[in-house]
Amino acid sequence: MISIFDNFTKNGNYLQNLNPDEFLSSIMKDDKAVVIDVRTPSENAEIRIPNSKLIDIYNPEFDSKINLLDRSKNYYLYCRSGSRSLSAGRRMYDMGFKNVFNLKNGIINWNGPVESEY
């Protein structure tokens, strides 16, 4: 079944939704991969993908922090369910980033390695 996110990203050509297996495979093979968690610091402390960079989409400085990133890299975004990361990806595309990927259905659907501060 195609979700609204699949239709939106295909029609809008902003970013590609990857299922957990595709996401993990891509970041493992991509020497230009940067994994970004767009959730809040407390969510990130509970569980996160190892080596991911936290840039909270709710932080008023989100756009300025994103704007400092190297546009030649490939960005793999995730959040809890895939909605915030999709929104962040659209914003990044509007800022000139071309290689942005979203973890479809977020970390709640993730079956790869995780880490926690607890």
**Domain 4-109, what fold?**
Oxidized Rhodanese; domain 1 (3.40.250)
- Which residues participate in catalysis according to the annotation? 79
Domain boundaries, the chain: 4-109
Residue 13 pLDDT: 45
Along the 118 residues of the chain, how does pLDDT read in single tens digits? 445 444 344 444 457 999 999 999 999 999 999 999 999 999 999 999 999 999 999 999 999 999 999 999 999 999 999 999 999 999 999 998 989 999 999 999 999 999 998 8
Which residues neighbour 100 within 8 Å (Cβ) at sequence distance 6 or greater?
14, 15, 16, 74, 75, 77, 89, 92, 93
